[in-house]
Amino acid sequence: MCGRYALDADIDQLIERYKAIVMETQFSRKKEIYPTQIMPVIKGGEKRVITQAKWGFTPAFAKKPLINARGESVYEKITFKKPFLTNRCIVPATSFFEWEVVDNKKVKRSIRLKNNEIFSMAGLLNDYQDEEGNVITTYTIITTTANNDMKKIHDRMPVILAKEQEDIWLNMDEKSISILLGLLHPTEETLEIL
């Protein structure tokens, strides 16, 4: 599960980190990002592009936005299958949040990479129409089982792509299901849990 995350970086840092061009520049650092907020995502192509999308797929049948897709079944679910093959993205983050149960109380934990860099969560993009008929681009974050650091507080975590995996994920010519699913595993990076 990934229900909140942070992007404590400015647009220049994202341009540098992803060697990307910018489609839209209205963006400010966010210490805590909630579902349905509009945030930067990275798309592939001839050049990487920073654009904006709304967090949470909104198919007609869903009672609330679908903010996560399970990596284990993403290719089997009709809502996620086409975007998985044709519209993958990176969701940049500096940390994500999870709630740990301590003495029957929920304690919010901030989780980041030990090296404290901007990291890439595997995401999918899809377009939906709002009530006025406007097309809204939305994204969802793919999750996987927890790594050893994360298991202490939760059994799920977002898929964090290694830098060398980013080009594969953003390459829409890559159609190998086994290669793509092979990227959706717990990170081997050390996590810092605060």
Task: Mark whether 98 is an active-site residue.
Answer: yes
Q: Which of the residues 98, 100, 189, 192 is marked catalytic?
A: 98
Query: 133 in the Ramachandran plot: left (φ > 0), alpha (ψ -120 to 50) or beta?
Result: left
Task: Mark whether 2 is an active-site residue.
Answer: yes
Cβ atoms of residues 40 and 92 within 8 Å:
yes
List % helix, strand, coil for the chain (3-state, nearest 5).
15, 40, 40
Q: How far is Cα 44 from Cα 50, in angstroms, rounded to an integer?
A: 9
- Give the side-chain half-sphere CA count within 13 A for 135: 4
The residues annotated as belonging to the active site are 2, 98
